Structure 1
Amino acid sequence: MLKLMEDVIDLVGEENVVQVVTDNGPQYKAAGQVLMERWPHIFWTLCAAHCIDLMLMDIGKIRRVQQTVETAQRITRYIYNHNWVLSLMRKYAGGEILRPGVTRFATNFIALDSILEKRGALRQMFASSEWYDSRYSYAGTEGSKIEDLVTRQPFWQWATTIVKAIKPLYEVLRAVDSEIYPQMGFLYHMMVKAKDQIMEADPAHGRSYINIIEQWWGTQMGTELHLAAYYLNPRFQYNIDGIGMDETLLDALRNVIYKMEADPEKAALCLEESKLFREGSYSFGQRAAVVSKHNMNPAERWVHFGGSARNLKRIAIWIFSQSVSSSGCESNWSTFALVHSKQRNRLTQKLLNDLVYVHYNLRLRLKCIQEEVELKYTDPIYGSFTADDDDPLLGWLVGQQQEPEFDEPGSPP
């Protein structure tokens, strides 16, 4: 892994590399540390999407969250493993109760939210004459127990509270996992805002979620690069009190400048120029600069209005051009898994490589065409399955060693 990263850096030129983003596997951590020792100006950071996914995984281990998810899975497994019940559900819900094509991120949240959207349809189904006339509703059967879960209020109350509390973190995941524009200048602010919204949504239990978020941010995810980007973002610098003289942010900014600028004199100039930016002086105070602080990409804003701080401008543009996630690069592995599933594992290596190459590049071309036609946001959390066995939605459809029940013609009344 280290050799691969070193080869790529040598290929593109070390002077053109600001950051290397990986997931938090031990082999990546070891490689990242070595890279920063060899090239002191390069930052190694963890993939924000992967870290947030792991936050959600830890939140899912909280007892009340785990019990609610397991109850929801019990409902969906029952419905999807009984053909007649599934048909009845589709009649009342007008489709599926689970969103298709869920990727590896936030699976439980997406599924739970989807079930909440179909709550009324599920209640109508279990209150219908068709249900009561069927053998599935008989007392003592699993169907009667599922009916009881769906028609009672406690499960829905817990599910609603959990979804509302987790949604702010999920929104951050959506942002960092998208490829619309780099999120380096926004990640820190989004995390702070998400924590505030979580406490507002669930004052009684929000602290347990936030403890998990802060643990991941403090030990794994947060870096001085994120803090410096927050400080240099005009949208926040000029709208949130206290940022300009915050010691933690200033320390982060200084350390990032020292790391990215090897010349001490130029580094000192960057620090002097930061005062002009902080005070909104000279080019930063132009009318167009003030008007555009809310809606212009921070990198573009520095391009147009950073002329009074030429040295700091160069560093700011580098920072705001950085991604916070490596998940976009994982599409190639998803394509490999799609082609090389158990049903297609007899392909020769050359043919397999050719199929992956063609399929992946077709997806890139289609994406470019779509962007040319319309700039429409697509939720990156909803993607295509990788391989059947890896589908994260599978746990919501079947349990271990569980086979679906295909009813005989004319069943079940």
Structure 2
Amino acid sequence: IAIDGWSDPRNKSIWGFMILTPDRKEYLYHLEDLSDHHHTAEFLANKTEAIITRIGAEKISAIVSDNGANVAAARSIIHKNYPSIINLRCIAHCFNLLSQDVLKSSFGERIIKLCNILCHFFRSSHIGTALLDNAIKEKTIKGGGIKPYVKTRWITMYECANSIVRLKPAFNYILENSKSEISNTAVLTILQKRGIFDDIQKLSEVLLPIKDAILSLERNNTNLADCYINLLRVAASIKKMDQYDYKGFHTHMVQVFNKRYEEFNDPKYLLAFFLHPEWKGKKPYNRPYSSKHDTPLNWWLLINDGKNQLSRLAIKLFSITPHSASCERIFSSLGWFFGKRRQRLQLNTLQSMAKI
């Protein structure tokens, strides 16, 4: 079961309870307006336990949510009351926190600020938009224009930085042919700043594996082993960073990753990693496995190891979806239902539309 909260356009606090099945189907079970209540850990735990009672605790393997203090405490209460229900934090949210840590370095904060200045001018100014569109056509650059950074959109920091690096030939074309038409001195200063595109490229390279991890871990077929694998991939990319020209930034990233690793690294990730069928042993654990055609859950369902204790453990672990992205997807859909002329949707109507 996955839980998360959302504020609708009327500033109502709507909470969603999603059912995630072992075969990766997602079902909206319940929406509830909790605007009139304080969202304490005990209150959220009671609301969630009421849902668990209706479904049946024996049918639920885990509870997953982001790691807000109140929600994390609520998960702990539920796990204490129902020891068979595993307590998990959303792994995609964890990697988003790591991307936010990039901005806590002086280098990351400075570069994304410069990116935002460029983005605002070339997206908001009529002259800037026209100049960039024309330069893109002249230089036949594919991939579209400059991408905005939106704090609530987890991968847009990378997309913003990467789009500016990709459009470097267009910016050079503008400086060579239409420099006088840029009235914004800050934009001109940034575009002419020595090494600015190298700095943005470095930021983009650091953010790329984090972006890839978020996208990978938001998929329906993500399992607990994928969490550990992506932690290793991000660690490897940080280790390969330039330690000379960007020594301070490298040191910062090593420190924040080590901190987040201690925070994120759940022993269940490592256990699932070693139970993954890619690492087969002696009979009966040597059945063929193809990542293209099989899933770890299906592979373990075919294993007969006598008492079935190891199989039962593996089946439970690989039946769990370790993220609450399903809640985010539902809330995005709910946001589309509202408009300037549609602000009075009742919760029951909203829930019915979402279930459809």
Q: Same fold by TM-score, threshold 0.5 exceeded?
A: yes
Are the aligned partners of 2:90 and 2:324 in contact in 1 as well (CA < 8 Å)?
A: yes
Deviation of 1:345 (Å) = 6.1
- Compare the two structures and name the one with the higher helix fraction: 1
1:160 is matched with which residue? 201
Separation in 2, partners of 1:184, 1:152: 44
Kept after mapping to 2: 8 A contact 1:18/1:42:
yes
Classify 1:353/1:153 alpha carbon distance in 2 versus 1 (closer, same or farther; 3 Å).
farther
| Structure 2 CA distance for aligned equivalents of residues 150 and 354 of structure 1 | 50
Superposed displacement of residue 157, structure 1: 0.8
Structure 1 vs Structure 2 CA RMSD: 2.6
- Contact residue 229 and residue 319 of structure 1 kept, 8 A: yes
1:336 matched to 2:334: yes
Whether the aligned pair in 1 keeps the contact of 2:217 and 2:226 (CA below 8 Å) is no
- Cα pair distance change 1:294/1:189, threshold 3 Å: farther
Mapped to 2, the partners of 1:25 and 1:103 lie a distance apart of 15
Runs of 4+ in 1 over 4 A off after TM superposition: 99-103, 306-309
- Aligned mates of 1:150, 1:172 — CA distance in 2: 31
| Alignment-derived partner of residue 55 in structure 2 | 12
CA contact (8 A) 2:161 2:203 kept: no
| Corresponding residue of 1:283 | 284
* One-letter amino acid of the counterpart of residue 182, structure 1: T
| Matching residue within 171, 178, 184 for 1:142 | 184
How far, CA to CA, are the matches of 1:293 and 1:326 in structure 2? 24
2:301 to 282, 295, 303: 303
The answer to whether the 8 Å contact 1:165/1:199 transfers is: no
Query: Are residues 292 and 78 of structure 1, via their aligned partners in 2, closer, same or farther at CA, if it must alter by over 3 Å?
Result: closer
Counterparts in 2 of 1:195 and 1:206: CA distance versus 1, 3 Å: farther
User: Does the 8 Å CA contact 2:300/2:315 hold for their aligned counterparts?
Assistant: yes
**Alpha-carbon shift at residue 73 of structure 1 (Å):** 0.8
Amino acid at match of 2:66: D
Q: Is the 8 A contact 1:80 1:86 kept in 2?
A: yes
Give the direction of change, closer, same or farther, for the CA distance of 1:99–1:303 in structure 2 (3 Å limit): farther
Q: Of 106, 115, 119, which aligns to 1:72? A: 115
Match of 1:272 in 2: none
For normalisation by structure 2, the TM-score amounts to 0.77
CA distance in 2, matches of 1:101, 1:73: 10
Residue of structure 1 in register with 2:233 after alignment: 193
Query: Structure 1 length normalisation: TM-score?
Result: 0.67
Which of 344, 349, 352 is 1:354 aligned to? 349
Q: How many residues align?
A: 303
Q: 2:254 pairs with 189, 204, 210, which one?
A: 210
Structure with greater contact order relative to length (CA < 8 Å, sep ≥ 6): 1
Alpha-carbon contact 2:162-2:204 (below 8 Å) kept: yes
For 2:228 and 2:189, locate their aligned partners in 1 and report how far apart those are by CA, in whole Å.
44
Provide Cα deviations, 1:53-83, integer angstroms capped at 9, x if missing partner. 1111122121001101111111111222321
Which blocks of at least 5 consecutive residues in structure 1 are unaligned?
A: 239-279, 363-413
Q: Given the superposition, is the C-alpha separation of residues 211 and 100 from structure 1 closer, same or farther in structure 2, using an over 3 Å criterion?
A: closer
Structure 2 SS opposite 1:21: strand
CA drift of 1:333 comes to 2.2
CA pair 99-64 structure 1, distance change in 2 beyond 3 A = closer
CA drift at 1:154: 1.4
